[in-house]
Amino acid sequence: MKFRHGLVALAFGLALTGSAQAQTTTATCNDGTTYTGQSHQGACSHHGGVQAWTPPATPGQVWVNTATHVYHCPGDRWYGKTKAGEFMSEVDAKAKGNRPDHGKVCS
């Protein structure tokens, strides 16, 4: 009986590990470089530390560069990383007169 519970625990642990690996975390380092990885541990360790963490993407949320009025999709190189900006839904971004980066619509 213990053996079965061990297999269930092992399978459950692997499932959790798999879902955790799907999550990536992004930060801006103090020297201006960007860190992307699986955990916060060691982030920007050779770049002066973490200046700011980029919040995880939520469905339908875009990053609007408030200086240029261009919005970026999750996974885009500039998502959450421009000097001036804010997160909002893509619908709100369009309603406020912002345009998608290079005409690429997120949803």
Encode pLDDT of 37-91 as tens digits: 888 899 999 999 999 887 777 788 999 999 999 999 998 889 888 889 999 999 9
**Whole-angstrom Cα distance, residue 66 to residue 57?**
18
User: Is 54:31 a contact under the CB 8 Å cutoff?
Assistant: no
| Confidence band of 32 (pLDDT split at 50, 70, 90) | confident
C-alpha closest to that of 93 among 75, 78, 68, 81:
68
**Whole-angstrom Cα distance, residue 93 to residue 86?**
10
**Whole-angstrom Cα distance, residue 69 to residue 54?**
19
Q: Between 54 and 35, name the one with better pLDDT.
A: 35
Beta strands in 4-95 (DSSP E): 25-29, 34-37, 50-54, 61-65, 70-72, 85-89
- Give pLDDT, residue 23: 61
Q: Between 18 and 106, name the one with better pLDDT.
A: 106
Query: Taking 60 as the threshold, does the pLDDT of residue 93 lie above it?
Result: yes
Calculate mean pLDDT across residues 99-105.
Answer: 93
Q: Which of 10-19, 36-45, 95-104 has the highest mean pLDDT?
A: 95-104
pTM recorded for the entire structure: 0.55
User: Is 57:71 a contact under the CB 8 Å cutoff?
Assistant: no
Strand 99-100 with 70-72, pairing: parallel
Calculate mean pLDDT across residues 26-44.
Answer: 87
Which alpha helices (DSSP H) does the chain contain, by range? 2-22, 90-95
